[in-house]
Amino acid sequence: MNEDIRYCDGALQVEGVNLADIAARVGTPFYAYSAAAIQRRYKAFHDAFADLDALICFALKANGNQAVLTLLAQAGAGADVVSEGELRRALAAGIAPEKIVFSGVGKSAEEVAFALEKGILCLNVESLSELHMISEIATRMGVTARLSVRINPDVDPKTHVKLTTGKSGTKFGIAWDEALDFFATAAQLPNVSLTGIDTHIGSQITNLPAFDAAFGRLVELVQTLRAAGHVVDHMDLGGGLGVAYGDGVDEAALLAEYAEIVHRHFAGLGCRMLLEPGRFITANAGVFVTKVLHMKPTAQKHYVVVDGAMNDLIRPTMYDALHEVLPVIPSDGAPVLSDIVGPVCEPGDFLAKDRALACGQGDLLALMGAGAYGAVLSGTYNARPLVAEVMVHGADWDVVRPRQSIEALIAQDTVPAWLNGGEDGSL
């Protein structure tokens, strides 16, 4: 819990708004974001590197809502994108092309051409195949593509296996000891300017010695590349800094330690720094609110069945993620050890397990830390429409993505004429 999401007058509030009041208007489940929390967390991250030549590029994969992006654009943020769709979202939110970097292991030719047309800051290259493709497209367009190469430093960040990207054996980047040959190849290709190094070793990292080890390797690599005559003028350090999920992690201390590591390695390197926080900015600025449908005691377990499900918030199912669960209006009842499960027809459909909760049918529960990798990972499995997203600003709030209707969900499909009694419609 933080100063922007807390209990006040016996109810859980985001800034000055009672979550129960939002539920009464928009229904459940829904996501709610605190504008003040996003602004405060961005400022804290920005200020930690204010003495460096640094650009903070928010990672859209964490939260791509246009209201969130516009808020960050107005604060001065750049963007880290991994698809043409995310690039278009960033541009639509007012983020300047020269503040956008395009990452990702599988860019298509169409995506590369669009990025070059818009004149973005940099494309982060992950393979020789991609390097050659970008050179060919840039030559055809008559432009020079600004590039950095993503390095896999083979460092274990000691996070969840599905959040680990900086070890050998993953699909990301090229081996750090192949970088010299990669730069040499790029120097021979037309219409590309490879002058940067990029890395991203994983997500939800609280084991900061992993950053220390990875950054140490990158500094050695820069020195090697410069000794060979190559220009390295910017470093993209990716993101991955962890946050608290009700587990006692001190985020302020974590950021301070991370900033110290970055300064120690790169302050004197003569490079522009790009940093790509996502989760750190929005995770604890958001909550997911769901309503209790049924209480289901069994011989083995006590289940609290809610209207939110894995299709709305998949992190617990996909990443074994732990979200703190709080009642929107606390009960005086005795807590019962329960699993919180949804209506989706899958045994993996749960939001939390073995939580001591005092709640009953019709009560509202809030899953904390849901502002990152929540709505962006949601889907419509079991024909469940996408849920509403709300942004709170002081005592006011707005729906920033309306709840999808079942009619709109069905209308996305079309039925061919032959199934609708057309000329060849007989079966």
**Residues tagged active-site:** 345
How distant, in Å, are the alpha carbons of 86, 210, 241, 278 from that of 201?
21, 8, 10, 14
Q: What CA–CA distance (Å, rounded) separates 240 from 372? A: 12
Q: What CA–CA distance (Å, rounded) separates 391 from 14? A: 9
Q: What CA–CA distance (Å, rounded) separates 285 from 381? A: 26
CA atoms within 13 A on the CB side of 133: 16
How distant, in Å, are the alpha carbons of 81, 87, 221, 258, 322 from that of 370?
20, 23, 37, 23, 10
CA angle 393, 203, 260 (to 5 degrees): 85
Contacts of 363 by beta carbon, 8 Å cutoff, 6+ apart: 291, 292, 327, 328, 329, 331
The closest alpha carbon to 4, from 342, 387, 393, 424, belongs to 393
